[in-house]
Amino acid sequence: MNKDAIRKQYIAKRNGLSETQVKQKSKAISETFIASEIWKTCRVIHIFISIPGKAEVDTSDLIDFFYTQHPEIKLCTSILAENNIDLLHTHITPETTYLPNKWNIPEPVERNAVNEETIDLILLPLVAFDATGNRVGYGKGFYDRFLQKCKPHVIKAGLSLFEPAEELIEADDWDVPLDYSISPDKIFSFIKR
């Protein structure tokens, strides 16, 4: 299925959810992820900060879990580089303060740079994904460029409010597939054994 068509379909589906439904699904995603083995050998985890008003998976419970239960694991997130094309990465702590960027994405004010090659696991935002691990985001390519700079075996896990799309997503050559996608009820694995 064409990325633009699936993006439009799933954004409409997401916007049809109430704030309460998004919170409930996000909480279930957090619990499913925490109960998994995916993160347990990781030292540095990259996590996205949810955009207010976009009905995205709310990552605040996951962030709080790592801050309170596993302070030995370093968390980092992205900030938009001055070229408006690339993402830079910075460690975050419970003391980090945030300001919205030009897309209303909360970005850390304090900067403590993180090299992409030190990241063990990336929790990715997505609009939709399919049964083979292809994902659709907002279409700007930020995460695809970011993933190209990471070590080859970085774990890529998408967080999705919905199950996989019924039709396969048409992937481009530069698209980097997921290793996992976590929905409210299930973890989908795309790792070939």
pTM: 0.94
Max CA pair span of the chain: 43
* Residue positions forming the annotated binding site for substrate: 49, 56
Q: Stretch 109-115: mean pLDDT, rounded?
A: 92
* Residue positions forming the annotated binding site: 3-7, 49, 56, 135-143
Task: Please choose, from the candidates 100, 59, 63, 60, the residue with its C-alpha nearest in 3D space to the C-alpha of residue 79.
Answer: 100
Mean pLDDT, rounded, of the chain: 92
Residue 102 has what pLDDT?
A: 81
Distances (CA, A) of 130 to 39, 57, 142, 177: 22, 17, 20, 10
Residue 4 has what pLDDT?
A: 85
Distance CA 137, CA 85 (A): 15
Residue 193 has what pLDDT?
A: 53
Given this structure, which CATH class describes domain 3-189? alpha beta
Q: Stretch 22-44: mean pLDDT, rounded?
A: 97
* Residue positions forming the annotated binding site for ATP: 3-7, 135-143
Query: What 8-state DSSP symbol labels residue 184?
Result: S
**For the chain, percent of residues with pLDDT exceeding 70:** 99
> Higher pLDDT residue, 173 or 68?
68
